[in-house]
């Protein structure tokens, strides 16, 4: 499934800040200029900050860490002051949870492709007009993997404009000469962090280990440059992508919520 669209949310009007302690990020906030839409919120202490309650309640759109969400666990009393202070997903028209996992590159398992399958590097290069055919192929391929998502060729091309674009992190798995799976990752040298953005396998090829091969191949390409690699995905996705990533060595318990009133 899509491993990264949640991470691309936001807008050009956003501002924000990150406080740090001893070089480590301890708090992250982002908001629109009118401060009525809080986009990102997290803190290292994993504690709810009640001083933000009014701003949170006013926000029409949020990307917020699960620590700020009330639990759906029926065993927790509704009268718990700590729970009441948190946001209730039922207050929002849309509430989408996304997992976020991390791989430390300490061990990357070997993999083997079925006979007749092989890894092909994409020919996509930033600012190349000649790539228009492959942009269309990638657009069509992703559309065949989803019922409700089909990025245009222009949208695919726009991904090559990001500073985190790396051409050798766009790969295909081919069944002889037929594309069967697509993997796209990014690399942020300022962290340095790798991130898996798209891990797609056509429905007719699922269950043959191609998704795992994509993930492990991209991790091998990132391990010499990135200190770690992250991945995000829908918690409620029927294909259960989280299971795939954990089987490849990703770990973590972070859940981020996209909320819209």
Structure confidence by residue, pLDDT tens digits, 176-212: 999 999 999 999 999 999 999 999 999 999 999 999 9
Count of CB atoms situated within 10 Å of the CB of 73: 7
Which tokens hold the place of 104? 């430390």
Task: Residue 229: name the closest of 168, 257, 188, 182 by CA.
Answer: 188
Which pLDDT band holds residue 80 (cuts at 50, 70, 90)? very low
**Across the strands, what pairs with 188?**
193
Is 124 a residue whose pLDDT tops 50?
yes
- 14 SS3 class: coil
Bridge partners for 62 per DSSP: 259
Tell me: the pLDDT tens digits for 107-116?
Answer: 999 999 999 9
Looking at the fold, whether 131 and 93 belong to one and the same domain comes out as no
Q: Is there a single domain that holds both residue 91 and residue 124? A: no
* Rounded mean pLDDT, 134-159: 94
Distance between CA 17 and CA 229 in Å, rounded?
23
Q: Verify that 63 and 93 share a domain, yes or no.
A: yes
Based on the fold, state whether residues 88 and 153 are members of the same structural domain.
Answer: no
Q: β-strands 94-103, 61-65: how paired?
A: unpaired
Could you tell me the pTM of the whole model? Answer: 0.81
Do 128 and 46 fall within a single domain? no
Residue 222 falls within a domain, yes or no?
yes
**121/193 same-domain check:** yes
Whose structure tokens read 């191949």?
217
In a domain, 243, yes or no: no
Residues 6+ positions from 118 with CB-CB distance below 8 Å:
173, 174
182, 85: one domain? no
Q: Count of domains in the chain?
A: 2
Q: Has residue 253 been placed in a domain?
A: no
Question: Is residue 56 domain-shared with residue 143, that is, in the same domain?
Answer: no
Instruction: Give which of 117, 119, 118, 157 is closest to 137, Cα–Cα.
Output: 157
19: exposed, middle or buried (Cβ count in 10 Å: 0-12, 13-18, 19+): exposed
Whether 248 is covered by a domain: the verdict is no
Summarize pLDDT for 25-62 with one digit per residue, the tens: 666 666 665 555 666 677 777 777 777 777 777 778 88
Please state, in angstroms and rounded to a whole number, the distance separating the CA atoms of residues 241 and 220.
20
Distance from C-alpha of 92 to C-alpha of 35, rounded to nearest angstrom: 18
Q: Give the CA count within 13 Å in the CB-facing half-sphere of 29.
A: 14
Domain span holding position 59: 5-99
Q: What is the pLDDT of residue 84?
A: 47
């Amino acid at each position: 499934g899509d491993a990264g669209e949640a991470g691309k949310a936001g807008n050009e009007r956003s501002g924000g800040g990150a406080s740090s302690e001893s070089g480590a990020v301890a708090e992250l906030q982002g908001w629109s200029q009118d401060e009525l839409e809080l986009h990102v919120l997290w803190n290292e202490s994993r504690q709810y900050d009640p001083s933000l309650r009014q701003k949170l309640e006013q926000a029409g759109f949020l990307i917020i860490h699960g620590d700020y969400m009330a639990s759906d666990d029926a065993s927790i009393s509704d009268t718990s002051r700590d729970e009441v202070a948190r946001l209730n997903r039922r207050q929002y028209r849309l509430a989408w949870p996304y997992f976020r996992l991390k791989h430390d590159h300490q061990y990357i398992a070997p993999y083997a492709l079925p006979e007749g399958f092989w890894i092909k590097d994409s020919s996509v290069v930033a600012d190349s007009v000649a790539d228009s055919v492959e942009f269309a192929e990638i657009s069509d391929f992703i559309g065949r993997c989803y019922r409700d998502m089909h990025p245009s060729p222009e949208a695919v091309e726009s991904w090559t404009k990001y500073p985190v674009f790396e051409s050798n992190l766009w790969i295909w798995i081919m069944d002889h000469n037929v594309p069967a799976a697509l993997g796209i990752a990014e690399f942020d040298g300022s962290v340095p962090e790798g991130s898996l953005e798209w891990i797609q396998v056509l429905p007719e090829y699922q269950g043959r280990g191609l998704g795992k091969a994509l993930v492990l191949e991209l991790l091998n390409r990132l391990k010499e440059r990135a200190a770690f690699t992250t991945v995000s995905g829908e918690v409620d996705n029927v294909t259960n992508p989280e299971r795939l990533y954990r089987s490849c060595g990703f770990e973590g318990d972070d859940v981020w919520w996209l909320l819209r009133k």
